[in-house]
Chain A
Amino acid sequence: MQKKLSQFSLNEKGVIKSISGEGRVRRRLFDMGVTPGAEVILRKKAPLGDPMEITIRGYELSLRKVEAELVLMEVKE
């Protein structure tokens, strides 16, 4: 099943399918290791629901909902 990273619930796992968006934000995502094929777990959401924290390539990364919307995931069971 595919859905956006922004729609993930807590502790949900998945593999990145593709990244949309453009320019600075998109490049920043790539540079931080958010590229197709990487495994992601949604670890936490901030007290006000946004931003969120994910584990990717062995480290913790935070990103906002708007940025997570650019990331299309393949949900893993």
Chain B
Amino acid sequence: MKRFALAGNPNCGKTSLFNLLTGSTAHVGNWPGVTVDKKEGTYKKLAEPIHIIDLPGIYSLSPYTPEEVISRNYILEEKPDCVINIVDATNLERNLYLTTQLLEIDVPLVVALNMMDVITKKGDKIDVAQIEKKLGVPVVSISALKGTGGDELMKRAFEASKAVRKGTTVLNNSSLAHLIGDVKIALEYENVENPLFHAVKLAENDELEVKDHVKASQMVEDFKKTFKDDTFGTDFEAIVADERYKYLSKEFKNVYIKNESNRENKPNKKQKNVNMTSMNMSKSDKIDRVLTHKIWGIPIFLVILFFIFHLTFSSNFLFLGAFIKDDWVSFAGTPFEGVFGEGAINSPGVVLQNLLTLLTDTLTQWVGNGLDSIKGCPEWVHGFICDGILSGLFAVLSFLPQILVLFLFFSILEDSGYMARVAFILDRAFRKFGLSGRAFMPMIMGFGCSVPAMINTRTLADDNERTATVRVIPYFSCGAKLPILTAVAGAIVANAKIGNADIITYSMYVLGMVVAVISILLMRNTTMKGEVPPFIMELPAYHAPQFKNLMLHLWDKAKHFIKKAFTIILASTIVIWFLSHFTWSWKFLADEEMDQSILASIGQLLQPIFTPLGFGSQLKQWGWVFGVAAIIGLIAKENVISCFGTLAACIGGFALTQDDTGITYVQAMIAATGITIPALISFIAFNMTTIPCFAAVATARAELSSKKKFNWTLLFWIATSYIVATTIYLIGSWWWTAFIFVAIIAIVITFIVINNKKEKARAYQ
């Protein structure tokens, strides 16, 4: 099958064109070794099917970003049959800069002039024939948004792919033309493929090229000795870039024909037209003036953020609860009871989640009834299928609706161009911690769910920054951790008759954020040193996001999540179910007998580990439950409190009723173990900062660039939670230990500072 590659700047409509050409055949994977999307699909409207590969959006073929290296290696090494270069017609100069580099490679090239609908709407024109003549490759007008020109483009590309094309360059009139020509001849003599491209790169002193072509790069060095440019000296990289732009602004000055005639020749229409264009010009500007306002920019952003979370997680939609009658939406007595609300209206995210839960509960029940009706079906099979497989799987899947709703909102912000502005607004504040403004979004999404948050780290350009962000995302306490907070805090308040449960909950949220900030500062100053990546980026014009693109994007994420839920997450759930429902002598246990299970004995074995944290060996007979709850919490954090419920039933002597809440479960645990308040708070902190749920762990594995980084991340989560929980327990129990911790922190900081200074001094020598 022939392979065509799509190349172009970010925001030039590449994704829309890809979707237009490939439709439902598209699938997304990863480029090997990096977390950059690799999109592939098939175009079927020609005589033979064509495989389409969407290269990452790039501005240049420099060796500095993974996206650029991927694109360049793909074209040079995989040798597609044709490269389709998408060019934003409303921004010719900068888009054609990449074209001038692609021209130098010996590969058939076709230029797709996108956004022609916008040009026509303005009444402007583009001299396509002239561009074609100047570039020497086919140029086709398309509008990816309107869906026009795609077939014509593919026809021309198919024709072009039959012929052999030799690279051409726009640098023929530059002061380096001779050097490039000589190096090219030398490379041809060595039988190097794409001699022109490599010759230009060698002249630029490209770090990826120099070591491969030692002999030829010596020619460049020799040439440098005899060369002197007034502006750039011997900085050939600068001369080449400058020469490309000079060529573009000179040669393509006249291809864009502005609709001047109307404005000047028809005075009666003049007023209207000027207004029209100024409106067109500044629509984006007007929005921008409000959204990035000096004073209002940040508050507006916070309001938008509030509404996103409100629409996803709130069970009091738009606070209408105060205005409606009690049972109006609750559908009491029907299967839909509570789905749409209970005394108030649920937000769309909650409604979707409830509907899915209703569906999965019904399914579980059917399967359960079905198994019961089979005679001789052992009890453990019933338990295994219903409680082990189904409920574990469904517990994870139940997050899916809210993950998707949250993801949808953030995709809208991303596609509309607002996300780039948010990064712009917040960059200054984040640089203090060694991050860029972009890192804010994934972190704040973490309050909803770590899974979409970790996926969102793909917008971060720097690998270190991405790793650091993925690691701290779980510290922004997600929705599933809230029950742990409220149940334990509620029990503390009820038992000790002091304080306020809300204050405890809030302080735990703050604690999570503080731990995140400290961790990032630590990482950026020790294992992940390096400068903050530059913030030289395009702020794309605002535009309405495309429904089709959003849905395709969302479908992709859903697919990935479901795949994970049915593989790694399912496997882990089954293991934990077996551990908690069988004894060492392989006897099946009912839920209420969990205290005899393998997991319980593992819990007892592990109990001493938790002693410094306050919920280890110092507790009475049932002390191991906290360790077991934390392990079960790895499936999903909701399970922590429901595990207490199950175990409370084992303890006996504590009559549980249907109306029991998490608070009573925790109270039962307090009564059985005699755990102290500092230890309870340390338990919350441990669960908040330790390894997150399986779904988040699986996502982290996919988003981190290497297995090694992932293993370190797991270790990092364990270590942090252990240290944080120990600190809380010790200081909470014996206040004077605070001095010891202050001393340790002071020593660590001094050590890091001195070490970094030494390293700096060494670097200067």
Residues of A within 8 A of B (CB): 18-19, 24-38, 44, 46-51, 53, 57-64, 67
Contact = CB atoms under 8 A, between A and B. Distances in A.
A4 B238 CA distance: 19
B479 interface: no
A48 to B, nearest CB: 4
A70 to B, nearest CB: 10
A63 B538 contact: no
Interface string B289-301: 0001111011000
Interface residues of B, number: 39
B97 A67 contact: no
Interface of B: 59-60, 62, 64, 90-91, 93-94, 97, 231, 237-238, 241-242, 245-246, 249, 288, 292-295, 297-298, 420, 424-425, 427-429, 431, 534-541
B94 A62 contact: no
Question: Could you tell me the dominant secondary structure of chain B's interface residues?
Answer: helix
B284 to A, nearest CB: 9
B297 A58 contact: no
Contacts of B242: 30, 35-37
Given A46-B292, A47-B292, A19 B536 contact: no
A64 B535 CA distance: 6
Contacts, number: 113
Given A26-B238, A64-B431, 7 more contacts: A27-B237, A30-B238, A30-B242, A51-B424, A51-B428, A62-B535, A62-B538
B537 A61 contact: yes
B536 A29 contact: yes
Given A24-B64, A38-B245, A46-B424, A60 B295 contact: no
25 contacts: A27-B60, A27-B241, A28-B62, A29-B536, A32-B59, A32-B537, A35-B246, A47-B294, A47-B295, A47-B297, A47-B425, A50-B428, A51-B428, A53-B424, A58-B90, A58-B93, A59-B94, A60-B539, A60-B540, A60-B541, A61-B537, A62-B420, A62-B424, A62-B536, A62-B537
Given A44-B292, A47-B295, A53 B428 contact: no
A67 to B, nearest CB: 6
A27 B97 CA distance: 13
Contact of B93 (A25, A33, A64): A33
Contacts of B293: 47
B245 A48 contact: no
A36 B62 CA distance: 19
A27 B59 contact: no
Contact of A24 (B59, B97, B427, B534): B534
A18 to B, nearest CB: 6
A46 to B, nearest CB: 5
A28 B64 contact: yes
A45 to B, nearest CB: 8
A75 to B, nearest CB: 19
Given A33-B97, A47-B298, A64-B535, A19 B238 contact: yes
A57 B253 CA distance: 12
Contacts of B245: 33, 35, 37-38, 57
Contact of A28 (B294, B424, B536, B539): B536
B538 A28 contact: no
Q: Closest 9 interchain pairs by CB?
A: A30-B241, A31-B60, A48-B428, A60-B539, A24-B64, A35-B242, A63-B536, A64-B535, A50-B428
A22 to B, nearest CB: 9
A28 to B, nearest CB: 5
A60 to B, nearest CB: 4
B135 to A, nearest CB: 18
Contact of B428 (A24, A46, A61): A46
